[in-house]
Structures are given as structure tokens and as C-alpha cells.
Amino acid sequence: MAEDLKNKPDEYWKAKLTPEQYRVVREKGTEAPFTGEYVDNHDDGTYKCVACGVELFSSEMKFESGSGWPSFYDVARAGTVELHDDKSFGMVRTEATCANCGAHLGHVFPDGPAEKTGQRYCINSCSLDFAPKTVGK
Ligand code: FE
């Protein structure tokens, strides 16, 4: 049976993540806009969950939203990201989490590119780990 990462104690994640990653991923924090390392990343590759390493997003679906956070119009593969109603802070939003480990990733808004999915996955850089595509394999 696969390891049940969703029920790991806080200590497990504190040992594995930086304090900023822990604040965002485990405590549902948000990094300040335009500060994340992947906001302006235009390299080809995949974006993995910083907590568990599962592939979540692809550079092929990344777009410039102007929001200050990395934005994707879809997930890399179906079933890797879970969506939840989030009514915190007096707003109704859709929270996105890693389906494998429960890491908080960001939120999904219905204002993405209309010619694609119309969705905008607004994701904290520090919840992701970018793996550049290896050329000429
Ligand atoms: Fe994960």
C-alpha cells in the first residue's frame, strides 16, 4: 500500500520543508505576489509538488496572468490536484491541493484563457519544484 502522506504529523513536514514552504503548503498560506521564483519562469519542464514530488503542472499550460503567481490553465494529468470549497477570509474560493499528500497549492479561478479551459490555477511558487525538460534525450 502506498504511504499515507495525508495523515503525517506536523513534525514530518516541518523536517522536510523550509519554514516558508511549511507556512504555505501545510498552513494554507500565500506567498506575496511577484515574489515567487517561478512567476516569470518560461523554461520547458514540469512542476512537481514540493512536499511529495508528484508531477502537478506542465510549462505547456503555464500562461501570463499578471496576477503575480504562477498560473496554469490546467493540470498536467487528471486526478493529481483536488479542489475544495474555501470560505475563509469572507470569500468563496476554490482551493487546490495535491491529491497525493494534501499540500495546499493555491486557488482556482474561472478567469483563465477562454480559448483553453477558462480556468486559472493560481499556484504558489513555493508549493512547487520545477524540473527542467532534458533536451535531446
Ligand atoms: Fe504532494
Within a domain: 58: yes
User: Ligand 1 center to residue 74 CA distance, Å?
Assistant: 17
Q: What percent of the chain has pLDDT over 70?
A: 97
**Cα 24 to ligand 1 centroid, rounded to whole Å:** 13
Q: What is the pLDDT of residues 15-43, one digit of tens each?
A: 999 999 999 999 999 999 999 999 999 99
DSSP letter (8 states) at residue 61? G
- Residue 137 pLDDT: 55
CA distances from 70 to 15, 49, 122, 137 (A): 26, 14, 6, 27
What are the distances in angstroms from CA 12 to CA 7, 26, 29, 133? Answer: 10, 11, 18, 30
What radius of gyration, in Å, describes the C-alpha atoms of the chain? 14
Active site residue 122: yes
Residue 127 lies in a domain: yes
- d(CA 65, ligand 1 centre) in Å: 24
Q: What is the mean pLDDT of residues 100-109?
A: 98
| Whole-structure pTM value | 0.94
Among the options 49, 98, 122, 126, which is catalytic? 122
- Cβ neighbors of 136 (< 8 A, separation 6 or more) are none
User: Which pLDDT value is given to residue 66?
Assistant: 97
CA angle 110, 126, 115 (to 5 degrees): 25
User: Is residue 1 included in any domain, yes or no?
Assistant: no
Structural domain span for residue 99: 7-132
What CATH number should be reported for the domain holding residue 19? Answer: 2.170.150.20
Among residues 128, 97, 122, 90, which one has the least CA distance to residue 109? Answer: 122
Q: What percent of the chain has pLDDT over 90?
A: 95
pLDDT at 1 over 60: no
**131 touches 48 (CB < 8 A):** yes
Interval 72-88: pLDDT, tens: 999 999 999 999 999 99
Residue 87 lies in a domain: yes
**66 within domain boundaries:** yes
Does residue 137 lie in a domain region? no
CA of residue 80 relative to chain centroid, distance: 11
Cα–Cα–Cα angle for 67, 131, 107, rounded to 5 degrees? 30
Number of domains in the chain: 1
